[in-house]
Amino acid sequence: MAIYVGFDKLSRKYVVKALQTEHNHSHTADDYETYATTRRLAGEIREHAELLVAHGAKPCSVKQYLNYIGSNVTLRDVYNMRQKIFRSMLIYSCVH
């Protein structure tokens, strides 16, 4: 989708010159699988993954396990989860 805008000198306003509503590439199911919303873990699987990370499991191993059980997480997702857990643990230890 694209919107082409130009400036009309006579009316001194911006105007839409052209509107293209077609995508310039195809969308597949594989594209959908890469979106963060579809990779997000929920419920029991998320709790299990957080437990593995909190107890020192290597991120690569956690990713392999999650992919094995059918989740489509990336290594970056696991590292982000790890960072969030350690940050919350640090805040908790500073408060108490």
Q: Hey, what are 67's tokens?
A: 């992919």
Tokens 């499991």 — which residue?
57
7-61 residue pLDDT tens: 999 999 999 888 888 777 777 777 777 788 888 888 999 999 999 998 989 999 9
61-74 residue pLDDT tens: 999 999 999 888 99
Structural domains of the chain, count: 1
What does the alpha-carbon distance between residue 10 and residue 23 come to, in Å, rounded to a whole number? 32
Label residues 7-45 b or e (16+ Cβ within 10 Å = b): eeeeeeeeeeeeeeeeeeeeeeeeeeeeeeeeeebeeee
Instruction: Tell me the residue range of the domain where 77 lies.
Output: 2-95
